[in-house]
Structure 1
Amino acid sequence: MAYLKPTWLVKKFSSIMAGTNVAERLTVTGRVSGEPRQVAVTSVNLDGVKYLVSTRGESQWVKNIRANPNVTLTVKGESTAYVAAEVPVQERAPVIAAFRPVLGRLLVGRYFTKLPAAADHPTFALAPPPAR
């Protein structure tokens, strides 16, 4: 699976954004450490479903979700628990098409140029956890 490693500056910016109420913050469980890991993300809503798209490909948060799909998304200080389900490659195109304009051409356009295939961008649908 392809992956575009972030520069030091991008990692620092993402770390700062994940610690604020400005960006959406995804909390996943580390697959090795078992500790919570946070990353700034942008979700997109399409047909009433919230989605996450990995612009850089096979990132650590993607690997962590695959190991444990129970995640928390914090938006403006409000945290919501979800269960993430990976979208099959053949169903990703409409989600990616809705996602790209949300972040803008300058921010993520180069990622989609370097990783042009839908298979390069793991995509997850977020659903509320089952009621107990």
Structure 2
Amino acid sequence: MSAAHVKKPGWFTVNVFNRAVAWLTRRGLSVWGSRVLAVRGRKSGQWRTTPVNLLTVDGRQYLVAPRGHVQWTHNMRAVGGGELRLGSKVDEFTAAEVGDDEKVPLLRAYLKRWKAEVGVFFNGVGPDSPDADLRRIAPDHPVFRITVTRSR
């Protein structure tokens, strides 16, 4: 696993884009599948939130980390789940990390849907790239299969 791979967001993403998407999502307006991910901090135990894109493939749901091994991925590994929020709807879930060999079709589906938004983080690999290219970048992009345990 390439734990060093992290693409930190720039000022515009942090202060404008992510805040706008999170604001809309908190009000129940999903932007292309957006949710607000809430995960407890692995050290503080405090809830941490960030906007994410919820991917559905063959009826199963996944969270992909386009920016690599960022804080929410470390927290997810430590606590094993969290909440996905859309307006007042909250889905509590458990998470299982997907192995690199299983990621190829998931990364392809993610890039087909959100390449315009996140393609820059995939080092030139896109939805039409060969499987070998997607497998090569798989260690840099954590993927979690989520299972909703309770909706409220």
TM-score calculated relative to the size of structure 1: 0.88
Residues 91-100 or 113-122, more deviating: 113-122
Larger Cα-atom Rg: 2
Instruction: Decide whether aligned partners of structure 1 residues 80 and 54 sit closer, same or farther in structure 2, where only a CA change above 3 A counts.
Output: same
User: Among residues 4, 7, 14, which one is paired with 2:18 in the alignment?
Assistant: 14
Tell me the distance in 1 between the aligned counterparts of 2:106 and 2:86: 20
**2:90 aligned residue:** 79
Shift of 1:36: 0.5
Tell me the distance in 2 between the aligned counterparts of 1:78 and 1:39: 16
User: Among residues 138, 145, 148, which one is paired with 1:125 in the alignment?
Assistant: 145
CA contact (8 A) 2:91 2:149 kept: no
* Structure 1 stretches lacking a partner, 5+ long: none
- Large movers: runs of 4+ above 3 Å: none
Verify: 1:109 aligned to 2:113, yes or no.
Answer: no
Tell me the distance in 2 between the aligned counterparts of 1:53 and 1:95: 8
* Structure 2 stretches lacking a partner, 5+ long: 126-135
**2:64 aligned residue:** 53
Tell me the distance in 1 between the aligned counterparts of 2:122 and 2:94: 26
TM-score calculated relative to the size of structure 2: 0.77
AA partner of residue 84 (structure 2):
L
Tell me the distance in 2 between the aligned counterparts of 1:30 and 1:15: 20
